[in-house]
Structures are given as structure tokens and as C-alpha cells.
Amino acid sequence: MTLTAKSADLRANIAKALCLITEKKRTIDWILTHHPDWTAQPIQRELLYGCARHYLEVQSTIDPLLKKPLRDKDQDLYHLLIVGAYQLLYLNIPQHAVINETVNATKKLHKPWARGLVNGVLRTVSRNNAQPKLEEPYFGHPPWLAKQIQQTYKNSANDILVANTKRAPMTLRVNQTKISVCDYQTLLNHNKINHQIGALPQSIILDQPMHSQELPGWHEGWVAVQDLGAQFAAILLDQHTNEPNRILDACAAPGGKLSHLLELKQNIIQSQPTNVTAIDHSPARISQTQQILARLGHDLALRSGDATDLTWWDGKPYSAILLDAPCSGTGTIRRHPDIKMLLNAKSIDELQELQLKMLNNLWQTLAPQGTLLYCTCSLLDAENDGVISEFLTQHGDASYTSIELPTGSKRKHGWQLLPTDPHTDGFYFALVHKKGGLER
């Protein structure tokens, strides 16, 4: 792996980024947005994602080498050790270069007194020369999270935990309102971009990830980057509803599922564009989503609205609702390894309460005979079947519709995709039907 002349700087910056994650509870996405210079080069992104992905394993390697824990004010040094040890254990970089540049980075952190400490710890790691193993029973996960996955998935749990330490595939969704899948494949072949068709006709999986803006037709809106699992959401809502008079996307940002739904419903939307409502509570995310929709050629204005209240609603019922609920994201740990560093057991209880609150609130806006698609990118039963089970208990006018997808497995009320399934992240889907009117 190639290093740059500023390799000491980049190691110091990654150490500071890890401090922001562990101490300030910032996400990697936040760091990418607010400190783009820290992640501008491939090696910087490799270090940030890799250290987060293997954080607990690297911790278990360096902690026994410290005579005592570093002070709170020296956690940047601790994370510099994480950065150095990660490279020695997982990357093909000459050991002398790793140690020298990581030692030099102490000066960038304004702590040159720690040169001897960093040098000693990393040389010991280098001498041991053993990559840490994904030890059972937790496989590099916080114990509480591993236990919840093991309780839910029994025999397949270990495979899921190991899969979470791997890299996710890069999957595209061809915007068929602009170009056919066949023609887009021709473009990829012309640019020597190796790929395969996914389980859905509009999905393409790249053999090797690449920067999205380097994709052919990106700026023309011919393609979007969207996980294969996420692509099932719009298709399910499309297939399991009659021609809807009004559609609501209740948590629309960042717009992947919304733009896909707009592409599937193009004819209806062109004739009745005001019958699609998309809301989100974050002005920044609304702005980002509008830019994504514009690039893909979709002329739809998002509204500011919170799915836990009805101040945004005009009182006219919807015949179809998509609720992509806020969740733990445990199905996307491969893409967001910082989840293992940020999440705690209490968060799940809080998220479950929020998910139920959103369902109960939005149920008031759904017309009789209407359909609500509830989805999360979680692996945890508490956020998935557990939420739907509680919701069905509270609402006598609600029933669920069975789902069957080409990959994944059936749960009691919904369908679960796993990171061990071909080419998908972990996603959960449940279709809830509202009784009343003339039953179909």
C-alpha cells in the first residue's frame, strides 16, 4: 500500500477521528462531512474504516502491553496506538514504515514525549506478528450485541457475526426511466468495470468498489448506489398495493427508497405528482435528499415533518405508506463499522419506543384498505418482529401480509435479510394492512 509524504499527519488525524467516535459519539459519516481532508485519500479511508471494523480486536492486542491505562486527556495517543497496531496486524505495509510514521505522529498530536511509549508498544506488536483472531463467542462485537444476535438466530449467529467483519459489496440500481439495464451494462463493459446482475432486474453488483462519481452516467442520473436489500422496499410497496391515490414516505432521507419508488410509479406520478408526499425532520437531510432526487431527474419537493406528530398532515388519508424507521443499523455494520463502537443496549429500548410511536402516529393517516410497509436495517428482533407484534396487539384493525423474497428468511410477521445472504445487508420488512371499508 502506497504511503504519502504526510503519512504522520494522516495517522494523527485518524487517531483524532477515533477519539471523536468514542468520546463525542460522532459517526464516520459525520467525520466524512465535517473533516473531508482527514479521509480524502484511500489510505485514510482504509485506516478509519479498518480501525473501526476491528476496534475491539486491536484493543485486545494493545491493552495488555500498557502498564496502566492512558489518562483521559491522552486518549488521542491511545487511538494512535490503535491506528499503528491495525496497520501492523491487517495491512501490507512495511513494519518499519508503520512504526516510524506512527511514532512521528506523536509530534503532530503535540505529545512528542510519548515517542518511546508508541515505539515500544508497536515493536512488541510487530515481534508477536500474530493477527488477532475473531474469538468466540463475540467475534469482535460488544458482548451485549453478540448475545442478542445469538439469541435471535441460534445456529447461524456465528456466521452473521463473522460476516459483519467483512466488507460489503457495492451495488447499483439502474434508473430505468433514463437507461435500460442492458445499455448500462454495455457502458460498464466499455469502461472495463467488472460486474454481475443481482437478484433484482435493476440491480448490478460491482466486482470491486469504486468512487460513485466515477461511474459512467453518474452525473446524468442513470444510476444510484443502493444495497440490494434496500431495493426490495419500493418493489414490495409497489407489488402489494393497488394503484395508490396517495403515497407517503414518512422518513424519506436520504432518498434511495423514495427515488426507486418514484421510478416504479413514474406513470402515476407524472399524471398526479401532488399525490406523493415525502417528509423528513432534518433540514440538512432534506437538502441532501433534494440534490439526490434532482440528479436522478425526480421533481418532488420534500416537506419538513416529524413522523411522531401530525402537524405536517393535511388530513387526507394515504393509501400506501413507507416507514423506513430509524433503527440500530445493525444490519449495515459492514458499511458502518462504527455502530459497534457507538451502540449500547439502552439504545435499542429507546429505538423500539420511537418505532412504535411512529407506527401508531402514521396509522391515523392510512386509509381503510391501505398498506403500510415497515422496514429497518436492523438484525435485532426487538426492532423488527417485536415492534410489529406489539403494534398488532394494540390495533384490532391491523393485520400483516405474508412476504416472500428470493433471498432471506421468513419471520413470524415479516421477512429478514441477513449479511450472510448473497449480496445484501441486513434488512427487515413487514407489510401491515388496514382493515375497513370493503374488504378485498
| Residue 164 covered by a domain | no
User: Per-residue pLDDT for the chain (440 aa), expressed as one digit of tens each?
Assistant: 444 447 889 999 999 999 999 999 999 999 999 999 999 999 999 999 999 999 999 999 999 999 999 999 999 999 999 999 999 999 999 999 999 999 999 999 999 999 999 999 999 999 987 666 667 789 999 999 999 999 999 989 999 999 999 999 999 999 999 999 999 999 999 999 999 999 998 999 999 999 999 999 999 999 999 999 999 999 999 888 776 679 999 999 999 999 999 999 876 555 565 589 999 999 999 999 999 999 999 989 999 999 999 999 999 999 999 999 999 999 999 999 999 999 999 999 999 999 999 999 999 999 999 999 999 999 999 999 999 999 999 999 999 999 999 999 999 999 999 999 989 999 999 999 999 865 54
Which of 128, 159, 185 marks a domain boundary? 128
289/340 same-domain check: yes
**Cell of residue 152, nine digits:** 435471535
CA dist., res. 12 & res. 22, Å (int): 16
Give the type of residue at 32: L
Which residues have C-beta within 8 Å of that of residue 211, sequence separation ≥ 6? Answer: none
3-state DSSP call for residue 294?
helix
pLDDT of residue 245: 78
191/241 same-domain check: no
- Respond yes or no: is residue 19 known to be catalytic: no
Q: Find the angle CA(86)-CA(91)-CA(95) to the nearest 5 degrees.
A: 85
62/197 same-domain check: no
Which of 96, 128, 160 marks a domain boundary? 128
296/220 same-domain check: no
| Residue 361 covered by a domain | yes
CA dist., res. 117 & res. 144, Å (int): 33
Sign of the CA dihedral with 70 first, then 74, 80, and 86 last: positive
**Cell of residue 331, nine digits:** 444490519
361/394 same-domain check: yes
Q: What is the DSSP string of 160-213?
A: HHHHTTSPPPEEEEE-TTTS-HHHHHHHHHHTT--EEE-SSTTEEEESS---GG
CA dist., res. 62 & res. 297, Å (int): 50
**Cell of residue 121, nine digits:** 508498544
206/307 same-domain check: no
Cβ–Cβ < 8 Å for 389, 412 = yes
192/308 same-domain check: no
Q: What is the DSSP string of 299-320?
A: ----EE--TTS-TT--SPPEEE
245/190 same-domain check: no
| Residue 103 covered by a domain | yes
358/253 same-domain check: yes
Cβ–Cβ < 8 Å for 309, 354 = no
| Residue 162 covered by a domain | no
Domains in the chain, number: 3
Angle between helices 95-108 and 115-128 (to 10 degrees): 160
pLDDT of residue 440: 45
pLDDT of residue 11: 96
CATH code of 237's domain: 3.40.50.150
Q: Find the angle CA(87)-CA(89)-CA(93) to the nearest 5 degrees.
A: 45
Which of 204, 225, 246 marks a domain boundary? 225
pLDDT of residue 275: 86
Strands 247-249 and 203-206: unpaired
Give exposure, 357-396, as e/b (b: 16+ Cβ within 10 Å). ebbebbbebbbebbbbbbbbbbbbbbbbbbbbbbbeeeee
333/202 same-domain check: no
Catalytic one of 51, 251, 327, 377: 377
CATH code of 108's domain: 1.10.940.10
DSSP assignment letter at 322? E
Backbone angles phi, psi at 331, to 5 degrees: -80, -10
pLDDT of residue 137: 82
> What is the domain extent for residue 281?
228-434
Peptide bond preceding 419 in cis form (omega within 30 of 0): no
| Residue 262 covered by a domain | yes
| Residue 286 covered by a domain | yes
Q: How many CB atoms lie within 10 A of CB 431?
A: 23
213/340 same-domain check: no
237/254 same-domain check: yes
**Cell of residue 256, nine digits:** 434511495
CATH code of 177's domain: 3.30.70.1170
| Residue 268 covered by a domain | yes
**Cell of residue 411, nine digits:** 419471520
| Residue 137 covered by a domain | no
